[in-house]
Chain A
Amino acid sequence: MKPQTSRPSRLGSPELTAQGLRKVGYLPNERIASVVYLGEQLAKPVLVEGPAGTGKTELAKSIAQMTGMRLIRLQCYEGLDEAKALYEWNYKKQLLRIQAGQANGQSGLTEAAWSDLESDIFSEEFLLSRPLLTAIRAPEPVVLLIDEVDRLEVETEALLLEVLSDYQVSIPELGTITATQTPLVFLTSNNSRELSEALKRRCLYLYIDYPSVEREKEIVASRVPGIGERLAAQVSGLVHSLREIDLKKRPSVSETIDLANTLFLLGAEEITPQLAVDTLHVLLKYQSDIEKAAAELTTGSRT
C-alpha cells in the first residue's frame, strides 16, 4: 500500500477540475469531476463505461487539453498484441546489423563476438516503442488513453495489467522499465462484454450515462454557438423523451448536437411536431426506430 495522502495535485480539487474542463468546452457533471480527481490523487486508472456517444473519449482528450499534457492513445481492436501495444524489436534493423557484421569479415563468429553482438542487437536502439511503453518512458507527465478496451480478447487484456497497477513494463532482454512520472490513464469501454475482474479491480469506475435535460441543454448551447435558448431547451427535451421510448439505438449526445446544428441552419425558431418528424433521421439511424418515434410524435401527447 502506497501512502496516498496529500500528494500535490495537478488538478487541485474536484471543483477546479470541473472548472478547467468547462474552460476547454467539456461540461462535466459532479461525478465525472470527482472521479477524475480521485484517479489522479490515488494514481489509479479510470475505467469509463457508458453508451456510445456520451463523451467518454472526449473526456480524456479534454483532460489532456486542460492540463497541457501530451495525449498518448492506444486504440484497441481484436487481434491487438504485445508487439502493437507495448514494444517490438526491430527485426529488420537487427538483421541488417548482423549482416553488416558478416560483411565486415566477422564470418567466423567467436563466442565472445557473438555475445557482444547479441547484447548489441537487444539494446534500446533496436526497440520500437509502442503506446503503452511510450507513456511509461515519457519524461514528462502524459495522459494515456486506452480506447475501447472491450474489443480486446480476454487473454490480451492481461498484458495491460502490469502497466495499470504498477506503471511499469518488463522487457526480458532489458529489464523492467518503470514510469518516472505517473501518467493519467483513462480506459473506455462500450460495455460490449464483461471486462475481467482483475482489470476492474485495478481501476476506478466511472459510468457516464446520457446527460440530464439541463446538462444536455448546456452542451447544446456551448457546441452550437448562437442557438436560441428556447430551441436548445426544446432539442434537449425532445431527445430526452425519445430516449425513453424502446428503440434499437437511442440517440447519442453527438446526434443531439447534429440535430441542433441542423435546426439552427434551417433557421428554425422552434420545433413543431412536423419539423421534428422531418428531422428524425438525424437522430435515429434505423428505419424501424424512425417509424416508431414518428408514430409516437404524431399521436399527440401520451396519457
Chain B
Amino acid sequence: MDVSLAAFVAELRAIGLPVSVSENVDAAAAVAVMPMVDRASLKSALAATLVKNSDHYGAFELVFDVFFGGRRIGADAQAGQAADGPATDAAAADGQGAGGSAAGSGRSVVAMLSDAELADLLLRAVLTGDQMLIRAVAAEAVTRYAGFEPGRAVAGVYYLYRTLRQLDLDALLERLLALADSAGLPEMDRRLAGDDYRRRVDAVHTEVEAEIRRRLVADRGAEAVAGTLRRPLPEDADFLHASQEQLVAIRQAVQLLGRKLAARLARRRRHQRRSALDFRRTVRRSLSTGGVPVDLVFRKPHPAKPEIMLIADISSSVAAFATFTLQLAYSIRSEFSRVRSFVFVDGIEEVTGIFETAPDIAAVTQHINSGTIAVRLDGHSDYGTVLETFWDQWGPQVRKRTSVIVLGDARSNYLASRSWVLKSIRQRARHLYWLNPEPAYTWDTGDSIVSEYAEHCDKMVECRNLRQLREFVEALD
C-alpha cells in the first residue's frame, strides 16, 4: 500500500500537481483512519488530501484509475475476468477461444453472443442502467474488437478507436432515441429521456476507455502506463498544439481565470496605495474614545483605469492563442476603462463592436473564424502592412493612458517589417507589450523577426499556455 502510494504521488507530481510533503503525510494518515469499504473510500481519502484545485480533479481521476483501477481493491465481481485478461485476449482475438476457456461466469455467457446480440445486450443494459452489465459488455467488446497486442508501449488510443468503430455508439444512441420517440411519451419527457440517453452513452464510452486502461495496466504495470498516458494540465497545455478536448478544457479554464483575475485586479487597484488621512472623519470617530484618535480613517483612492488596445494575429497558425487571449481580455474588461480589439491576417479590422453585441464568446470566435474579415489578399500574415494600416487609421487614438498589446508569432513571411510603427506607438502609448505564443528558442529562426520588433517593445513575452498568460495579466497595470 505505502509503496504504491509513493508511486502514485510521484506520478501526480510528474503531471504537475503541486503535492507538498505535508499533504503526502496527510494522505497516508487519511488512508489509515478511513474504513476501506470500497474503492470510492480510498478515492475520497486521497482526493481530499492531495488535490486542492478542482481543475486538477480530472487529471487525478485518470491517474487514480491507472493505479487503483479495480484490480486490487473491490475487484470481487471482475476478479476472475481480471486475472485472465491479457492471456485470453490473445486467444479471443484470433477466434472463439475465449468461450472454451474456463473464464469467469459472466464472461463466458457474454462471449458466446454474436456481434448483433452483443449490441442488443448493450442496448438493454443502457436502458435499464445496469452498471455491471455495461461493464461486462464493454470488457467483451474490448476483447473482441480492440486487437490488443500485449507488451506494446501505447496509450491505447488506437484500441479505443477500433473498439468504438465496431461498437458504434452513434447507432446505439439512434436506436435509443427511436425507442423514446415510438414510446408515445409527452414531448417534455421525450426531450429529457433523449438528454438522459446521451449521458448514458457517454458513460459507455468512458467505460470502454477505462477497460482499455485496465488491460494496459494489467499488461505493463501502473507506472509505465501512467507514463504514456501523461497529459499536461489545462493550464500547462500548449495553445498551438492542444488537442480538441484540451481546447475545451482551456476554454473553461479561461472563463474561471477571467473571473478570478477581475476580482484580483479590482482588489489590488483599491488597496495598492495608502491614501491621504481623512482628518474630519478621524476626529469625528475619536469622539467615541474620549478624543483620542484610536482609529485613523483614510480617503478612498480613486485611481484611473487604464485603456487597452489588443492587436491580434488570427492567421490559422496562431488563431487558438488569439482567441483565448481575446476571450480573457473581454472577461476582465470591467477592470479597464476601455478594451478595443483589432484582428489581422494581412488586413486589419476592429472587432470591438462584435464583442459588445455578440451574446457569448462562441459567436465571436465563429465570426472571426469565418475567414471573411481581416484578410486582404492571400491569407498569409503580413505584419508590416498591418502595422502601417493600424498606425494610419487608429494611431491618433493611441493616448497616454493606452496600453497596446500585440498578439502574434512575429513571422512575417519574409515581408517588410516596418518596425518604425512600433517605435511611434511606444512613444505615444503608456506601454507596448508583445505576447508571442511560440517557444522562445524558436524566436528569430526562419521568417521570425522577433528581435527586430522586441527592440521597440517594453516587453516581449513568451505566452504558450494559460499559466504564462495569467502571469502576464497579473503583472499588468
Interface residues, chain B, with chain A CB atoms under 8 Å away? 18, 20, 22-23, 25-26, 29-30, 32-35, 37, 40-41, 44-45, 47-49, 51-54, 57, 177, 186-192, 194-196, 256, 259-260, 263-264, 267, 271, 288-290, 292, 294, 359-360, 362
Contacts of A185-207 to chain B: CB distance below 8 A? 191-194, 197, 200-201, 203-207
Nearest A residue to B195 via CB reads A241
- CB contact under 8 A between A35 and B194, given known A92-B288, A192-B259, A292-B359: no
Question: Which residue among A4, A34, A49, A99 has the maximum number of chain B CB atoms within 10 Å of its CB?
Answer: A34
Given contacts A201-B22, A207-B57, are A271 and B40 in contact (CB under 8 A)?
no
The one of B44, B259, B294 that contacts A30, using a Cβ cutoff of 8 Å: B44
| Stretch from A38-46, A104-112, A130-138, A174-182 contacting the other chain | A38-46
Q: With both chains docked as a complex, state the minimum distance between the C-beta of A248 and any C-beta of chain B, in angstroms.
A: 8
Q: Which of A31, A46, A244 sits near B195, CB closer than 8 Å? A: A244
- Cα distance A7–B40 when bound, in Å? 23
Central interface residue in B37, B177, B292, by most chain A CB within 10 Å: B37
CB contact under 8 A between A38 and B33, given known A95-B290, A273-B187 = yes
Residue from B191, B260, B294, B359 within 8 A of A194 (CB atoms): B260
B35 nearest in chain A by CB position: A13
Q: Which residues of B contact A73 (CB under 8 A)?
A: none
Residues of B within 8 A of A207 (CB): 54, 57
Complex: A260 Cα to B272 Cα, angstroms: 47
Q: A104 CB to closest chain B CB, in angstroms?
A: 17
Q: Is A191 touching B54 in the complex (CB atoms < 8 A)? A: yes
Q: A192, B360: Cβ atoms under 8 Å?
A: no
Residues of A within 8 A of B18 (CB): 197
- Tell me if A270 counts as interface (CB < 8 A to partner B): yes
Shortest CB distance A265–B (Å): 19
Tell me, yes or no, whether A237 is within 8 Å of chain B by CB: yes
Which residues in B have their C-beta under 8 angstroms from that of A15? 35, 37
Q: Please indicate the chain B residues that have their CB under 8 angstroms from the CB of A241 in the complex.
A: 191-192, 195
A1-31 near B? 1/0 per residue, CB < 8 Å: 1001111000001110000000000000011
- Taking a contact as CB atoms under 8 Å apart, the answer to whether B33 and A34 are in contact is no
A302's nearest neighbour on chain B, judged by CB, is B194
A5 touches B52 (CB 8 A): no
Residues of A within 8 A of B192 (CB): 234, 237-238, 241
With A38-B45, A41-B34, A204-B49 known, 11 other A-B pairs at CB within 8 A are A14-B41, A37-B34, A38-B44, A44-B26, A91-B289, A192-B263, A205-B52, A207-B54, A234-B188, A238-B188, A292-B359
A240 to B193, CA, bound (A): 12
* Set A4, A34, A288, A300: member contacting B48, Cβ < 8 A: A34
Query: Which residue of chain B has the shortest Cβ distance to A4 in the bound complex?
Result: B29
Query: In the complex, what residues of B have CB within 8 A of residue A288's CB?
Result: 359
Knowing A41-B33, A42-B30, A237-B192, the reply to whether A270 touches B186 (Cβ < 8 A) is: yes
CA distance A78 to B44 in the complex (A): 32
Distance in Å: Cβ of B78 to nearest Cβ of chain A: 20
- Known pairs A193-B260, A288-B359; A35 contacts B48 (CB<8 A): yes
Interface pair B186/A31, CB less than 8 Å apart = no
Flag if A205 contacts B196 (CB, 8 Å): no
Determine the residue in chain A with the shortest Cβ distance to B359: A288
> In the bound complex, do residue B48 and residue A205 qualify as a contact, i.e. CB atoms below 8 Å apart?
yes
B194 and A34 contact, CB distance less than 8 A: no
Contacts of B35 in A (CB 8 A): 13-15
How many angstroms between the C-alpha atoms of A7 and B34 in the bound complex?
12
Contacts of B290 in A (CB 8 A): 95, 99
Residues of A within 8 A of B33 (CB): 4-7, 38, 41-42
B188 touches A92 (CB 8 A): no
- Pick the residue among A35, A49, A240 that contacts B44 (CB under 8 A): A35
Q: Is A276 an interface residue (CB 8 A)?
A: yes
A272 to B185, CA, bound (A): 11
Contact A301 B190 (CB under 8 A): yes
Q: Which of A38, A194, A201 has the most CB of B within 10 A?
A: A38
> Would you call A280 an interface residue if the criterion is a C-beta within 8 Å of the partner chain's C-beta atoms?
no
Contacts of A244 in B (CB 8 A): 195
Nearest to A248 among chain B residues (CB) is B360
Complex contact B195–A34 (CB within 8 A): no
The chain A residue with its CB closest to the CB of B194 is A301
Supply 12 A–B pairs (Cβ within 8 Å), ascending by A.
A1-B25, A4-B29, A4-B33, A46-B48, A47-B52, A201-B20, A204-B48, A204-B49, A207-B54, A241-B191, A244-B195, A273-B191
Is there a chain B Cβ closer than 8 Å to A153's Cβ?
yes
Give Cα A248 to B461, complex, Å. Answer: 32
User: In the assembly, what is the distance between CA of A297 and CA of B188, in Å?
Assistant: 9
Query: Nearest Cβ distance between residue A111 and chain B, in whole angstroms?
Result: 23
